[in-house]
Chain A
Amino acid sequence: AQSVTQLGSHVSVSEGALVLLRCNYSSSVPPYLFWYVQYPNQGLQLLLKYTSAATLVKGINGFEAEFKKSETSFHLTKPSAHMSDAAEYFCAVSLYGNNRLAFGKGNQVVVIP
């Protein structure tokens, strides 16, 4: 079964600094990988996804993630944090022909002015 590990439940970043959220996956076959964002009292919305095309994936709001098979990683980055980036971020994995998403435990991002 596939699984996802996100370390560090709370991440503090200064406004204008790099945002880096780490995601490592476990899968016996090539996975599909997703990052979702959840703003307070809302549902989840897709930031970006990897589906075996380009390994560097660009998403909404200036976020991007790079798939590294050798490291089984799909880390999320944004060069310059904005106050509006304060939210919870989830990494998720699914497999071909099996659309059961397995989520990591999430990273709560706090942006410090």
Chain B
Amino acid sequence: NAGVTQTPKFQVLKTGQSMTLQCAQDMNHNSMYWYRQDPGMGLRLIYYSASEGTTDKGEVPNGYNVSRLNKREFSLRLESAAPSQTSVYFCASSDYGGETEAFFGQGTRLTVV
């Protein structure tokens, strides 16, 4: 029972490079999310997808794009990485409805130099 799986776990990019963070869940959840975690800032929502075929901006969407490929997969793309995007990125999923808990992946630690 894998839950939420993120790849890669670690990545170093040079400024201006692009990359895609992958996320897949096997719990048949409708909603998926991308958060970034920075020291002293908690988790901030980048983008989310309430259901297959829909995506919406969160609190800090600038510099990112997302794709909800199917019900299982939700990817996050950095088109031109910047040092300010150095962070730990978490993917999460939940059933639709505010009362349901979110399940988190193990995170991707990204460093942009």
Contacts and interface: CB of A to CB of B under 8 A. Distances in A.
Interface of A: 6, 9, 31-32, 34, 41-46, 49, 51-52, 90, 94-106
A13 B38 CA distance: 24
B98 A94 contact: yes
Contacts of B33: 100-101
Interface in B49-97: 50, 58, 90, 92, 94-97
Task: State the main secondary structure of chain A at its contact with B.
Answer: strand
Interface residues of B, number: 28
Interface of B: 4, 31, 33, 35, 40-45, 48, 50, 58, 90, 92, 94-102, 104-107
Nearest to A31: B98
B31 A99 contact: yes
Nearest to B91: A43
B99 A51 contact: yes
Given A34-B101, A51-B99, A95-B98, A100 B106 contact: no
Contact of A103 (B42, B97, B105, B106): B42
Q: A51, A90, A101: which has the most chain B beta carbons within 10 Å? A: A101
Contacts of B40: 9, 105
B99 A44 contact: no
Contact of B58 (A41, A46, A98, A100): A100
